[in-house]
Structure 1
Amino acid sequence: MKLTAWAVERDGERGRNVHLLVTVEAESDAPRAPVAMNLVLDRSASMRGAPLAAAVEAAQLLVERAGPKDYLGLLTFDGVPEQLVPLRLMDKEARADLAETLSGLQAGEGTALHEAVESGAAAVRRLFIPGARPKLLMLTDGEPSVGLRALADFRTLGTKVAESGLTLHALGLGRHYLPEILEALTAPSGTSFTHVDDAEGLPVAAAALVAELYGEVGTDARVYVKPSGFSELLCRHRYPARVDGDALSAGLGSLSQAFPRRALFTGRLELADWTLGVTTTWTENGDTRRVAVPVQRVLPDSPEGRFIRAVGVELDLVAAESAAWKALLRRNPIAAEKSLSEAEEGLRELVRLAVEEVPAKRHVERLADLRVAVEKRAGEVPALVVRRARAADARTGLSVIQPVPVLPARKAGS
């Protein structure tokens, strides 16, 4: 693992602050763990046509890229979930069977989202594969219409899934799904969810997920920060955090090749003389690793200092953007304008910092859409843009926004 901890001291609104950025990145040549994953695929009426065809193509990509030690299963749902293919080792015969089942899927009626996740998780828990972390990958374009529908029920379910040892990933397609539900389901696993505007964008999003899922080399990563000389310490990213003795810890979830996980902490100084002790743990090949990470103090205008500042600015930007959309939904244009102005100032600051790893351009289109909505004070806020914004908020908050990796070209005839 590549482990770094950079700290920069700066003036804050209430005195001197220290910003600590911890990065954990798996080596690109580290051996990956086998995958044991149930695909939970929405085939409700709204998926009929192009959405279902794109979803099948994305699932076929997962089948195609599976290794000889990977296990995949398929659960589909409309008004009723059905485990069409049990989790099986992806040998030649199983791969062909799963691909054939996917190609024959047809849309139904209703969306039993809660029951589908419950059933999919139960199927995975019945199978133990040494060295593999059990997973669910859910793809949906709709809001639940059958069974439990309250957000609180999905929060409880997401926590239950994570506490049982499963990791849940999700893709939300189009304009009908509810981002709050997908975040409630995925946040306890430390994965967030991905938004896809339309069926055409689904294969690209699936390609990024394939690289992440099939590149996992470590699980249950956690960062411990022990402060001295501070009056308070806050984890800025929305990882599950807790107090561990005299340290604050944050769970980073799984670690995949070329997908670094970062955690930003901000602390208010009480003394001029301060220290931060950083330790990272993770599970690899069944063994728990614990490594102390030396903290390097950097200057605000150094490349490392600018990087830390850019990460913090982006977190503030997406938080302000989310607040602006919420204000619009509550018919409060004054609050929306104020939050949008804060987000636009954050965008300008990202441009000034010019940090390649935190590009300003990925926020330009959404903020432009938001500016139009605020100025029009539209009675109906564009649902698609709201979902895209909230997905970006969820992924930025868990530091999992990554460039889309380029996968090897498919072989002819495959």
Structure 2
Amino acid sequence: MNLTAWAVERDGERGRDVHLLVTVEAETDAPRAPVAVNLVLDRSASMRGAPLAAAVEAAQLLVERAGPKDYLGLLAFDGVPEQLVPLRLMDSEARSELAESLSALRAGEGTALHEAVESGAAVVRRLFIPGARPKMLMLTDGEPSVGPRSLADFRTLGGKVAESGMTLHALGLGRHYLPEILEALTGPSGTGFTHVDDAEGLPVAAAALVAELFGEVGTDARLYVRPTGFSELRCCHRYPARVEGDVLSAGLGSLSNAFPRRALFTGRLEWADWSLGVTTTWTENGDTRRVTVPVQRVLPDSPEGRFIRAVGVELDLVSAESAAWKALMRRNPIAAEQSLNAAEEALRELVRLAVETVPAKRHMERLADLKLAVEKRTGELPPLVVRRARAADAHTGLSIIRPALPVRKLGN
């Protein structure tokens, strides 16, 4: 593992602040663990035609990438979930069966999203594969129409999935799915969800997810930060965090050699003499590794200092953007305008910092669409932009550092 911890001290609104950025990155040639993935695929009526065809094509990437020690299964759902292919070792016979089942999928009626996740998770939990981390990959374009539909129900379900030791990944396709539900399901697993505008973009997004799924080299990663000389310390990313004695810890979930993980902490100083102790743990090949990470103090205008600031500014940007869309949906234009102003200010700061690995460009089109919606103060919101913004918020908040997907310009 490549581990770095950079800290920068700056003037804050209430005194001196310290920003700590910890990055955990697996070696690109690190041997990966086998995986056990149940593919949960939406075949509701809205998937009929091009969306379902693209979903099948994307799922085939999973089959092609699977190694001889990997297990894959297929659950399809409309109004009723159905485990079409059990979790099986991907030998030649199993590959053929899974490919044929995918090709034979036809759209039905209804969307039993809650039951599909429950059923898919139950199948994964019944199989133990030494060294393999159980996972689900869900693709849906629909709002639940059968069974539980409240956000609270899906938050509870997402928590249960994560507590059982499973990780849940999700792709939201098009204009009908509810980003709040996908965030509730995937957040506890530390994965977030990906948004795809249309069927054409699905293979690209699926390829990124497949790289993450089949690049896992560590599980149950957790950071421990012990502050000295601070009056407070908080984790800015939305990882599951908790206080353990005199330490603040944050769970990063799985580590993939395809994508690094970052965690930003901010703290207010009480003493001029301060220190931060950083330790990280993860499980690799059945063994728990524990490493102390030396903290390097950097200047605010150094390349490392600007990078730390850019990560924090991007978090502020996507959070304000998401808040603006929520305010618009609640018919609160004043709050929407205030959040838009905060997002635009963060965007200007991101442009000024000019950090190549935290590009401002990937946010510009979304904020332009948001500004237009705020100025019109209309109840008709562009659903694709709203969902894209919420997906950006979910991924940035959980710091899954993957290449940005191509962004398609929305029509009027």
State the 1:353 CA deviation.
Answer: 0.8
**In the alignment, which residue of structure 2 is the partner of 1:126?**
126
The answer to whether the 8 Å contact 2:169/2:193 transfers is yes
Q: Does 1:364 align with 2:356?
A: no
The answer to whether the 8 Å contact 1:197/1:384 transfers is yes
Which letter does structure 2 place at the counterpart of 1:29?
D
Cα separation, 1, equivalents of 2:136 and 2:143? 18
**In the alignment, which residue of structure 2 is the partner of 1:308?**
308
Deviation per CA, 1:15-47: give whole Å up to 9, x if none.
100000000000000000001000000000000
Cα separation, 2, equivalents of 1:379 and 1:292? 52
Cα separation, 2, equivalents of 1:99 and 1:365? 38
**In the alignment, which residue of structure 2 is the partner of 1:73?**
73
**Partner SS state of residue 399, structure 2:** coil
Which letter does structure 2 place at the counterpart of 1:133?
R
Which letter does structure 1 place at the counterpart of 2:29?
D
Q: Does 1:377 align with 2:377?
A: yes
Cα separation, 2, equivalents of 1:86 and 1:161? 19
Alignment of 1:290-301 (within 5 A): 290-301=290-301
Cα separation, 2, equivalents of 1:208 and 1:235? 27
State the 1:379 CA deviation.
Answer: 2.0
The answer to whether the 8 Å contact 2:18/2:269 transfers is yes
Alignment of 1:182-331 (within 5 A): 182-331=182-331
**In the alignment, which residue of structure 2 is the partner of 1:355?**
355
Deviation per CA, 1:94-132: give whole Å up to 9, x if none.
111100110010000000000000000000011100000
Cα separation, 2, equivalents of 1:22 and 1:63? 34
**Partner SS state of residue 249, structure 1:** strand
State the 1:404 CA deviation.
Answer: 5.9
Deviation per CA, 1:123-161: give whole Å up to 9, x if none.
001110000000000000001000111110100000000
Cα separation, 2, equivalents of 1:256 and 1:381? 36
Q: How many residues are treated as equivalent by the alignment?
A: 405
**In the alignment, which residue of structure 1 is the partner of 2:173?**
173
Query: What RMSD over aligned residues (CA atoms) do the two structures have, in Å?
Result: 0.9
State the 1:258 CA deviation.
Answer: 3.2
The answer to whether the 8 Å contact 1:20/1:266 transfers is yes
Give me the identity figure in percent: 88
Cα separation, 2, equivalents of 1:319 and 1:113? 27
Which letter does structure 1 place at the counterpart of 2:139?
L
Cα separation, 2, equivalents of 1:99 and 1:120? 19
**Partner SS state of residue 148, structure 2:** coil
The answer to whether the 8 Å contact 2:261/2:401 transfers is no
The answer to whether the 8 Å contact 2:43/2:106 transfers is yes
Cα separation, 1, equivalents of 2:169 and 2:48? 23
State the 1:334 CA deviation.
Answer: 1.7
**Partner SS state of residue 107, structure 2:** coil
**In the alignment, which residue of structure 2 is the partner of 1:3?**
3
Deviation per CA, 1:154-183: give whole Å up to 9, x if none.
000000000001000000000100001000
Cα separation, 2, equivalents of 1:148 and 1:392? 26
User: In the superposition, relative to structure 1, how do residues 246 and 264 fare at CA in structure 2: closer, same or farther (>3 Å)?
Assistant: same
TM normalised by structure 2 equals 0.97
**Partner SS state of residue 328, structure 1:** helix
**In the alignment, which residue of structure 2 is the partner of 1:342?**
342
Cα separation, 2, equivalents of 1:78 and 1:257? 34
**Partner SS state of residue 328, structure 2:** helix
Of stretches 374-383 and 285-294 in structure 1, the one that deviates more from structure 2 is 374-383
Deviation per CA, 1:238-269: give whole Å up to 9, x if none.
00000112100000010001311000000000
State the 1:348 CA deviation.
Answer: 1.1
State the 1:401 CA deviation.
Answer: 3.8
The answer to whether the 8 Å contact 2:42/2:78 transfers is yes
Which letter does structure 2 place at the counterpart of 1:76?
A
State the 1:305 CA deviation.
Answer: 0.2
Which letter does structure 2 place at the counterpart of 1:364?
M
**In the alignment, which residue of structure 1 is the partner of 2:100?**
100
The answer to whether the 8 Å contact 1:205/1:404 transfers is no
State the 1:335 CA deviation.
Answer: 1.6
The answer to whether the 8 Å contact 1:124/1:134 transfers is yes
State the 1:381 CA deviation.
Answer: 1.4
Cα separation, 2, equivalents of 1:215 and 1:306? 29
Cα separation, 2, equivalents of 1:401 and 1:340? 25
Cα separation, 2, equivalents of 1:216 and 1:359? 26
**Partner SS state of residue 312, structure 2:** helix
State the 1:93 CA deviation.
Answer: 1.1
The answer to whether the 8 Å contact 1:207/1:404 transfers is no
Cα separation, 2, equivalents of 1:337 and 1:132? 47
Which letter does structure 2 place at the counterpart of 1:263?
A
Cα separation, 1, equivalents of 2:319 and 2:375? 20
The answer to whether the 8 Å contact 2:230/2:270 transfers is yes
**Partner SS state of residue 222, structure 2:** strand
Cα separation, 2, equivalents of 1:328 and 1:366? 15
The answer to whether the 8 Å contact 2:222/2:282 transfers is yes
Q: Identify unmatched segments of 5+ residues in structure 2.
A: 406-412
The answer to whether the 8 Å contact 1:208/1:404 transfers is no
Which letter does structure 2 place at the counterpart of 1:166?
M
Deviation per CA, 1:379-399: give whole Å up to 9, x if none.
211221111111111110001
**Partner SS state of residue 392, structure 1:** helix
Which letter does structure 1 place at the counterpart of 2:32?
R
**Partner SS state of residue 369, structure 2:** helix
Which letter does structure 1 place at the counterpart of 2:69?
K
